[in-house]
Amino acid sequence: MPSHRTALESRWLALTRQVLPGMAAAEGWPIRLDHCFMRVCLDAAIGRPWHEAVRRPAFRHLTEPQLAAAIAVAERIRTEPDLLPALNRQSLRWRGKLR
């Protein structure tokens, strides 16, 4: 039986590598690549650029609560697709890439 951490990691990868990228074109989202979805979800879960709080690679260094929070953001985007553009803008703003 897989550990709780393994189950979280599997869900995270499924959401950010398959589910959300698979929805991108149909939803007309400004991002399409898995690492972009990871950035948006991690930044939203942590409340700032994730790399300010978590060592790289994030996947290996996130705590279980941080990973669960990022999954919750991804699940919310999956069920409420209109949230993604605003979350992406906020992530870019935190990173100084958008005014």
Instruction: Quick: pLDDT tens for 64-99.
Output: 999 999 999 999 999 999 999 999 999 999 999 987
What letter does residue 99 receive in the DSSP assignment?
Answer: -
pLDDT value of residue 66? 97
pLDDT value of residue 59? 84
Cα separation, 78 vs 97, in Å, equals 25
Dihedral sign from CA coordinates of 17, 20, 25, 29: negative
pLDDT band at 23 (very low <50, low <70, confident <90, very high): very high
With beta carbons less than 8 A apart as the criterion, state whether 22 and 74 touch.
no
pTM of structure: 0.95
Helices (H) and strands (E) in the chain, counts: 6, 0
